[in-house]
Structure 1
Amino acid sequence: MEFVTKLIHAFSLKADAFLFMWAIMTTGVFALAIVIERFIYLTVRQGTSTELFVKNILSFIEKEDIPSAIVLCKKAKNMAIAGVLKAGLEDAGAGAERIKNTIDEAMLKMIPRLEQRTGYLAVIGNVATLLGLLGTVYGLIMSFAAVGKPGIDAAQKSELLASGIATAMNSTFLGLSVAITAIMVYSFLRAKTQRIVDELDEYSLRVMNTLVERSYKTHKYHISAAQLKEGVGLHITHNNIKIFTDNKMIKEINI
């Protein structure tokens, strides 16, 4: 209890290094705000039923009900996977290459949103530690300066020095407390973010493959009978059809 009282007293204007104590507390408040915002975004908003959500999307695709799949994504707009899949579903009628590019682009836009501001916690952890050490050094300087004044006997000097060192250590204690907490939460949020990114990779690839397969099955190619006369050749790849005559390409159809 006495320790808590002294720690609170270290914030008073009369205490040595009180500026550093308030600076450390300010970094702690910023860290707390980031933690709350990131926790809500990564845990509450993302939900826990990602697999079920993707199964419902795949079910709509198999039923050729793309509009309902898009509506479901709009309803779950806070989920990262919903934003990525919605982009791919909106281009479901395009070719395979277009679908892949759209989903890849959506992924590149979504990942920075998942990672934003989390890195500040690591910075705050380092800054809080350094502020704590700086506050302690400043407090020690002030304590030794006070002890060095003339007219103070040896017993008083020892008492003043011990009291000054104890007070100066408060900033180190507070700085390390903020730093350790910030770094631990940073590690948790980084792990949570990585799990979400891994899920994005897995489920977006699954849906993309389904959409691409659907595109291959439903895409219609119209080649006139006049082009398929003797001497005309076809070169079919995964994303286009090329028509040749006399070793010259006369038409290319993108899938």
Structure 2
Amino acid sequence: MFEIVKAGGWLMLPIIISSVLAIAIIIERFWVLRVEKVAPRDLLPSVWRRVRDNNLSADYLKSIKQDTWLGSILAAGLAQSRLGREAMRDSIQQQADQVAHEMERFLNTLGTIAQISPLLGLLGTVLGMIQVFTAIMVQGTGNAGVLAGGISQALITTAAGLSVAIPAMIFHRALTRRVDSLLVTMEQDCVKLVDALSAESNTSD
């Protein structure tokens, strides 16, 4: 393996660094974007039971805010519930924007890796072919070793760049899809809570 990396030339270094960074981002994002961490299914019913029983303490709001991202959004809305529906919606939207930013963290970097890795491979291809044609001009076609070295560099860097780019692109799209799905789920839960509180307020009036 080391001989293959060595044959690819110095451009293999940024390609390898890109691959390590991509793997780290993929593992970290899949761990962070777990459903039980982002938007547990039993959170909204639990919150609503406490609201209905008038048992919504400041400690509980602080707890759900720290435990999950959906909890932080619901807590932001509930903190403004006495100010009316619009105040709740504004507070929820502001917190949701922050949560969305955190959920999308590092995804731009992963997308960038998916785009630049094949370009690095292409650059290696160009440099390898330059080496081949330079050798031909200087030594003619008799030195097969030099020609093979340049062609080898071109093929190895191209293959390495694509090997990094293809999985990075696949996981970037998968993670983006997961973020979008979780955001939709959280939005639906928030709308349910706001509507339920508004309905209860209208009934009590």
Please, what TM-score do these two structures have when normalized by structure 1?
0.71
Distance 2:106 2:36 in 1: 16
In 1, are the aligned partners of 2:73 and 2:92 still within 8 Å (CA)?
yes
1:30 and 2:16 matched: no
Report the RMSD for the aligned CA atoms in angstroms.
2.4
Higher helix share: 2
Q: Which moved more, 1:196-205 or 1:158-167?
A: 158-167
Match of 2:55 in 1: 65
In 2, are the aligned partners of 1:111 and 1:197 still within 8 Å (CA)?
yes
Distance 1:165 1:78 in 2: 54
Match of 1:244 in 2: none
CA, structure 1 residues 78+19, in 2 after alignment: closer, same or farther (shift >3 Å)? farther
Higher strand share: 1
Corresponding residue pairs, total:
205
Structure 1 residues 188-207: aligned runs within 5 Å? 188-207=174-193
Identity of aligned residues (%): 25
Match of 2:12 in 1: 21
Match of 2:72 in 1: 83
Distance 2:93 2:33 in 1: 21
Match of 1:242 in 2: none
The residue identity in structure 1 corresponding to 2:107 is T
In 1, are the aligned partners of 2:19 and 2:164 still within 8 Å (CA)?
yes
Q: CA deviation at 1:63?
A: 1.4
Give 4+ residue runs of structure 1 displaced > 6 Å after superposition.
none
In 2, are the aligned partners of 1:143 and 1:160 still within 8 Å (CA)?
yes
State the Cα deviation string for residues 73-115 of structure 1 (Å, max 9, x = none). 6246242211100111122322222222222222222212211
Match of 1:136 in 2: 125
Structure 1 residues 89-100: aligned runs within 5 Å? 89-100=78-89
CA, structure 1 residues 8+104, in 2 after alignment: closer, same or farther (shift >3 Å)? closer
Distance 2:183 2:35 in 1: 16
Which has the larger Rg?
A: 1
> Per chain length, whose mean CA-contact separation is higher, i.e. which structure has more relative contact order (CA < 8 Å, sep 6+)?
2
In 2, are the aligned partners of 1:45 and 1:78 still within 8 Å (CA)?
no
In 2, are the aligned partners of 1:96 and 1:216 still within 8 Å (CA)?
no
Distance 1:167 1:98 in 2: 62
Q: CA deviation at 1:217?
A: 4.0
